[in-house]
Structure 1
Amino acid sequence: MSGRRKPDWLKMRPPSGRRFTDIKQTLRDRDLHTVCEEANCPNMGECWSGRDGPGTATFMLMGDRCSRGCNFCDVQTGGMEPLDPDEPANVAAAVAEIGLDYVVLTSVDRDDLPDQGASHFAQTIREIKQRDPSILVEVLIPDFQGDEEAVRKIIDAKPDVIAHNIETVERLQWPVRDRRANYEQSLSVLEQVKRESDIYTKTSIMLGLGEYDHEIYQTLSDLREADVDVVTLGQYLQPSRTHLDVFEYVHPDAFETWRQVAEDELGFLYCASGPMVRSSYKAGELFVDAIVRDGKSVEQARREARTAAGS
């Protein structure tokens, strides 16, 4: 299906605006990477331009090359370089310069490192919180090959949200993900966070890869069994012709149905669901911000997040 014309609901506006340009220059000046750029996120222009606030950028730690090769992802594989010991402080400084009050941190997989980069991740969280404890920090972490001590280092750094993406239904884990990743391992990471802390948890599922409805429902059910709080569902888009083909362009009405199932039937605190939704998505971040910072009710936080996101 990769050669078919995309439906109208998947049309994107190109990134633009002074705010977008300023953030990009700040990142270049400090030699920092964002998953927004590396993964060709379709919402980069909207998030960076900060239509309703200071803007959002998802910082990608530990370089721009990944030790794994997932067939859906546009981040380059191999050629791993040593960690930059100044990166945690540089990220914290960039956060202050840009003026963010909600920060999302993610990383490439670093299976080549002794602790797979968990300490580096944790230090970045601490650097941001030391500069300004009021900043909310969400981290989107790898599975660390199921190493509980590595996950515990992230928990101990006390971010406000720990996300880990299950990506797709159990049947499609391969060929979608690298063989070192798997469904049960991802569930175990999310379960550990809840078992050992009261930190909010979050995950993301891509649709349009050939999954069946009953498999989506089962995945959502398994995630709720793991006590996951927030889930996002979005359309898989092929980054290049060497990546997995799009099996189906899922209609926006179907995404809305899954949102209702997730929240009203299965009990997720919040579900952002739509063709252009990604794991680091402004609506989800606004929801958590309202819950954690302002102590608003779940229903009020949901309404405000959707209004701000224009949905």
Structure 2
Amino acid sequence: MARSRRKPDWLKMRPPSGQRFADIKSTLRDRNLHTVCEEANCPNLGDCWSGRDGPGTATFMLMGDRCSRGCNFCDVETGGMEPLDPDEPTNVAEAVAEIGLDYVVLTSVDRDDLPDQGAGHFAQTIREIKDRDPSILVEVLIPDFQGEPDLVRKIIHAEPDVIAHNIETVDRLQWPVRDRRANYDQSLDVLRQVDRESDIYTKTSLMLGVGEYDHEIYQTLSDLRNVNVDIVTLGQYLQPSRSHLDVFEYVHPDAFDTWQTVAEDELGFLYCASGPMVRSSYKAGELFVDALLRDGQSVDEARATAAAAE
């Protein structure tokens, strides 16, 4: 089958704008905070920060803007690690209050250079937010912590509302897509541990368009359900620069719709956000969890709430 490298019309992005965008950016800069929205060049930054469909949102990136790993799909800088900012957990909590968020997403770079790989710092940030306002829902997108159960346990004990860890791609393509220190089974083990040791919702994300086959996508989704992952997102891989992994294929939106149906109706995920512009931190997915936990909606009702925002 022929593979198209020219970016199709359905991948057009709107530039960031608006007062809400400016206010969030100012708040983050004043506290020396980073977001994955900017560092990873998220295509949805304009929509999320500008708040075109509601309050603006941002995904805070903890522990600096440089990663100890070098995944070939990611635009975050690698190497040159700096000491942790001990004030960052407090600064994040204060920024959350100033921006007026009631749903917070935290992620981080990998910090393999630290004795606990940053798990304690991550957990402290969760607690700082929850201590100020227990009603705030906190979703965390964590590294694999090299598969060390005690470090994953630190995150569980901090009691976020959702714990996400991204498997990123199918088993066969883990390398060259991800850093060699990451792997498929290790990521499944992290998600399995969260399910076994807590009642916290679990979530993961899968990129399409890096050379995977349909049967491999199905197998990956099946493996994720076998470890009881609740929520999955599927999105199109976009090459950040010519030095990054090539796009193998631009997957048509109809295929994403099909995978959403397979994930929810056949495999039993509580919710699947699937589309070319969907990313791990995706507003519709946040609304789904919010509807479940805050509003007490049923799964079907929460799916309808999320669908209205897509």
CA distance in 1, matches of 2:39, 2:283: 18
Cα separation, 2, equivalents of 1:59 and 1:277: 18
Query: TM-score, with normalisation over the residues of structure 2?
Result: 0.98
Runs of 4+ in structure 1 off by over 4 angstroms are none
In structure 1, C-alpha distance between the alignment counterparts of 2:293 and 2:134, rounded to whole Å: 13
Between 252-261 and 4-13, report the one with greater CA deviation.
4-13
- Aligned counterpart, 1:36: 37
Paired residue for 2:236? 235
Question: What is aligned with 2:70?
Answer: 69
1:79 aligns with 2:83: no
Change (3 A) 1:23 1:252: same
Aligned to 2:54: 53
Q: Is the 8 A contact 2:5 2:248 kept in 1?
A: no
* Distance (Å, rounded) in 2 between the aligned partners of 1:51 and 1:10: 18
Report the Cα offset of residue 52 of structure 1.
2.9
User: Is the Cα–Cα contact under 8 Å of residues 53 and 309 in structure 2 kept in the other structure?
Assistant: yes
Partner of residue 218, structure 1 = 219
Q: Secondary structure at the match of 2:233?
A: strand
Partner AA of 1:83 in structure 2: L
Structure 2 contact 235–275 (Cα < 8 Å) conserved: yes
Q: 1:2: Cα distance to partner?
A: 11
Q: Secondary structure of the equivalent of 2:104?
A: strand
Q: For 1:185-204, what per-residue CA distance to the aligned partner results, in whole angstroms no more than 9, with x for missing partners?
A: 00000000010000000000
Whether 1:289 aligns to 2:294 is no
Residue type of the partner of 2:210?
L
Deviation at 1:3, TM superposition (A): 9.5
Q: What is the match of residue 111 of structure 1?
A: 112
1:270 aligns with 271
Q: Does 1:13 align with 2:4?
A: no
CA contact (8 A) 1:2 1:238 kept: no
For 2:276, the aligned partner's letter is P
Tell me the distance in 2 between the aligned counterparts of 1:156 and 1:179.
28
The answer for the alignment partner of 2:190 in structure 1 is: 189
- Give the alignment of 1:252-267 within 5 angstroms: 252-267=253-268
The equivalent of 2:305 in structure 1 is: 304
Structure 2 letter corresponding to 1:198: D
Contact 1:2/1:246, CA 8 A, preserved across alignment? no
Task: Tell me the secondary structure at the aligned position of residue 206 of structure 2.
Answer: strand
Q: What CA distance in whole angstroms lies between the structure 1 residues aligned with 2:24 and 2:206?
A: 28
2:134 corresponds to: 133
Taking only the aligned residue pairs, the percentage that are identical comes to: 85
Q: Please, which moves more after superposition, 206-215 or 48-57?
A: 48-57
CA distance in structure 2 between the aligned counterparts of 1:137 and 1:267, rounded to whole angstroms: 24
Q: Distance between the aligned counterparts of 2:14 and 2:53, measured in 1?
A: 17
Deviation at 1:49, TM superposition (A): 1.2
Cα-to-partner distance string for 1:177-233 (whole Å, 9 max, x where unaligned): 000000000000000001000000000000000000000000000000000000000
Shift of 1:75: 0.2
Aligned-pair RMSD on alpha carbons? 1.1
- TM-score (normalizing by structure 1): 0.98
Q: For structure 2, list consecutive stretches of 5 or more residues without a partner in the other structure.
A: none
- In the alignment, which residue of structure 1 is the partner of 2:23? 22
Unaligned runs of 5+ in 1: none
Q: Alpha carbons of 1:2 and 1:72: their partners in 2 closer, same or farther (altered >3 Å)?
A: farther
Give the whole-Å Cα distance in 2 for the aligned partners of 1:99 and 1:254: 36
Give the Cα–Cα distance (whole angstroms) in 2 for the partners of residues 179 and 202 of structure 1: 22
- In structure 2, C-alpha distance between the alignment counterparts of 1:54 and 1:281, rounded to whole Å: 14
Match of 1:157 in 2: 158
Q: Which letter does structure 1 place at the counterpart of 2:189? A: S
Whole-Å Cα distance in 1 between the matches of residues 201 and 4 of structure 2? Answer: 39
> After superposition, what is the alpha-carbon deviation per residue over 1:68-114, rounded to whole angstroms, capped at 9, x for unaligned?
00000000000000000000000000000000000000000000000
SS in 1 for 2:251: coil
What residue in structure 2 maps to residue 204 of structure 1? 205
> 2:242 aligns to what SS in structure 1?
coil
2:5–2:249 Cα contact (<8 Å) kept: no
CA distance in 1 between counterparts of 2:16 and 2:300 reads 32
Q: Deviations over 1:236-263 (max 9, x none)?
A: 0000000000000000000000000000
